[in-house]
Structure 1
Amino acid sequence: MPSPRLIPVRTPASPEGVVVVLHGGASRGEQVGVSPAQLSVLRMVPVARRIARAGRSRLAVHRLLNSHRGWDTTTTPVTDARWAIEQVRDRHGDLPVALVGHSLGGRAALLAGDDPHVRCVVALNPWVLPSDRVDLRGRRVLVVHGTDDRIASPARSADFVRRLPSGTEVEQVSIEGGKHAMLRHGRAFEEWAADFVVSTLLG
């Protein structure tokens, strides 16, 4: 099976926090590998760059390429996200971590957000299920969803937010007219993610 990979976007010498950016992408068959050129991966490049610019030289930013596309019963993007958290800790030390994901990557960010080193989670148009449960108490969570998303249900993400335990600091934002691919209003999605991560990790 292919292995997950981390792609550095910005790696300052002495960062104060670390950001891992997670892509989406539906399954294309069992254990189909991830291409760096697939649209779901490229979609997160401007998000990662915006966060890197906003964090200046104070945040290390990495993009994760999952081990394979989609979500199956044996290995999921949550497994890859947890692997990435350990990798960035090996590289950068004991720093607060932010997870930022889109679509299935948003789901992975939320479900991996219970890692004790994660300080905040940003989920952009997350594709979640009614059965998803996670305890994110003590973390800051931002869910941004376009009102015109026809692939990942805004109602499901709103329901996910309502199910989070009390004690979770959560903010929910609707992007009027925003669609799943974030092509329209892309700047709004990017700015919400960057501002939230910077304010959380850098105060």
Structure 2
Amino acid sequence: MDGQAVAPRTAGHHRALAWCSRPDAPSAAVLVLHGGQEHGLHRPGRINPPGLRMWPFVRAVERATAGAEVAVGVVRYRCRGWNGDRADAARDTTAALQDLAEELGPVPTVLIGHSMGGRAALRAACHPCVAGVVALAPWCPDGEPAEHLEGRRLLMVHGERDKVTDPAGTVDFAVRARAAGAHTAGYRVARSGHTLLHRAGLWHRTAAVLTTGLLGLHDLPAEVTAALALPAGDRGGLDLPL
């Protein structure tokens, strides 16, 4: 499926956006996307470990944006899986962004996605509201489209011990995205794997710092700013130690 062809779903069936905190007049927004499975048509259950894993990230972002009129929400998936060309998680992300734009207007929005949620965030990042993506251990399979990411800021964070999604695949995707005109930077988290549980505090703090930096609430780390400015073809700044 082409990266630009994430079609909206039929209206009126499933609300893909759930707010965690929403000021009266938000000037920006953050959406958090949890992981999932390659295949799975069942709805996520009431007890959903991939979703629970992301609540500390929600709380870290809420603390980091306190007083800044930033709405924070999560994307609710219809299905547990990506499901091939259906790209269900990406469609739900696009639907959530459409709901967000209708409710808040075209406010700058950062997507934070883990694993399948990282893939969904990257696939849906061409939406006009998206100011940037923080992809945590993203699932970036061979051939994942990147041409739609021109002008987008993509920050990739991957544990060096990840055995579920490939850190090298993340770097390769970032190279292709940069060649397509995206602005990319990446961190490699030492002694950490896919679940984001080992060195969890570092993951939470890093995601909050990168997110608030993308929203312009403070400067991004100097090494990230330098990497974002590198031209297409330069592999620098895509495997920064953390």
Alpha-carbon deviation of 1:6? 2.5
Question: Could you tell me the TM-score, scaled by structure 2's length?
Answer: 0.78
Question: In the TM superposition, what whole-angstrom CA distance separates every residue of 1:77-121 from its partner, at most 9, and x where no partner exists?
Answer: 110000000111122112011111000000111111111221100
Percentage identity across aligned positions? 32
Which residue in the other structure is 2:57 paired with?
47
Question: In the TM superposition, what whole-angstrom CA distance separates every residue of 1:111-165 from its partner, at most 9, and x where no partner exists?
Answer: 1111122110010001111110123222221100000010011011111111113
One of 176, 188, 193 as aligned partner of 1:179: 193
Question: Could you tell me the TM-score, scaled by structure 1's length?
Answer: 0.93
One of 93, 111, 118 as aligned partner of 2:123: 111
Of 78-87 and 56-65, the range deviating more from structure 2:
56-65
Conserved? CA contact 1:36–1:65, under 8 Å = no
Of 120-129 and 188-197, the range deviating more from structure 2:
188-197
Please list every run of 5 or more consecutive structure 2 residues that lacks an aligned counterpart in the other structure.
Answer: 1-12, 218-242
C-alpha RMSD of the superposition:
1.8
Which residue in the other structure is 1:32 paired with?
42
Separation of aligned partners in 2, 1:155 and 1:27: 19
Conserved? CA contact 1:41–1:65, under 8 Å = no
Paired amino acid for 1:145: H
Separation of aligned partners in 2, 1:162 and 1:79: 25
Alpha-carbon deviation of 1:36? 4.1
Matched, 1:164 2:177: yes
Paired amino acid for 1:188: L
Separation of aligned partners in 1, 2:199 and 2:118: 18
Conserved? CA contact 2:36–2:82, under 8 Å = no
Which residue in the other structure is 1:67 paired with?
78
Matched, 1:92 2:104: yes
The number of equivalent residue pairs is 202
One of 151, 158, 170 as aligned partner of 1:138: 151
Please list every run of 5 or more consecutive structure 1 residues that lacks an aligned counterpart in the other structure.
Answer: none
Conserved? CA contact 1:23–1:105, under 8 Å = yes
Which of 1 and 2 has greater Rg? 2
